[in-house]
Amino acid sequence: MNSKQKEDLIHFLETVMVEDRIKLIDKNVNERTRYITVVLENIFQPQNASAVMRSCDCFGIQDLHVIENSNNYELNPEVVMGSSKWVDLKRYNSKEENTLDTIKSLKNKGYRIIATTPHTNDILLPDFDLTKGKSAFFFGTELTGLSDVVMDNADEFVKIPMYGFTESFNISVSASLVLNHLSSSLRRSNINWKLSDEEKLDLKLEWYKKSVKSGVKMINRFKKTQGIQ
């Protein structure tokens, strides 16, 4: 569909939606970003995986990338709290080892590869420079951390400041701390971090479809009446 057809379809769906839902979707679409994104490598605990997705939604991060090498990414409905409806989950699992392909894919899209790890002293989170461009933040398992593939191909390493005896936060807390800082920093900056107009249109249409009972059937019926393939 072209932009005009998408707009017409959105207006059609609005006729069966409550005004509060329309306003909430409009507000949240305008707060979404792909300027920063999150990548989970081989996470095996559903609670932590789900908590990270929930944090992505809460902080306006639209895409969550998941590398499934030896562990499948599973969601815990009681933890994710419906956030899986609003965050785009991108899985990388076509090979036995998918990390390098993920890195290459993100670099081709203009992302810097940022390894979050307590084992380097490269950059503390408060000193991270968001103005240098789009960034993909990689998080590894609590047991082994990020793989050597990520560490060898990272553009930068970020460390969360810590002042106690414990070596690191768990992954869900680490992701929340990183996203809280970055999301707040983006919104105080002059960086063009929002989605493009076309991305907003696509996302609004997708969210409308998920918000309307029998949304898929209504969309198909509209396309048929309008002659849209």
For residue range 114-144, what is the model confidence (pLDDT) as tens digits?
A: 999 887 778 999 999 999 999 999 999 877 7
Sign of torsion over alpha carbons 76, 84, 59, 63: positive
DSSP secondary structure letters along 141-175: BTTTBS-HHHHHH-SEEEE----SSS----HHHHH
User: Which residues make up the CATH 3.40.1280.10 domain(s) of the chain?
Assistant: 32-194
- C-beta of residue 133 within 8 angstroms of C-beta of residue 167: no
pLDDT (0 to 100) of residue 109: 97
Q: Which two tokens stand for residue 205?
A: 């249409």
pTM over 0.85: yes
| Architecture of the domain defined by 32-194 | 3-Layer(aba) Sandwich (3.40)
Instruction: Point out the residues of the chain with pLDDT beneath 50.
Output: none
- Tell me if 28 sits within 8 A of 59, measured CB to CB: no
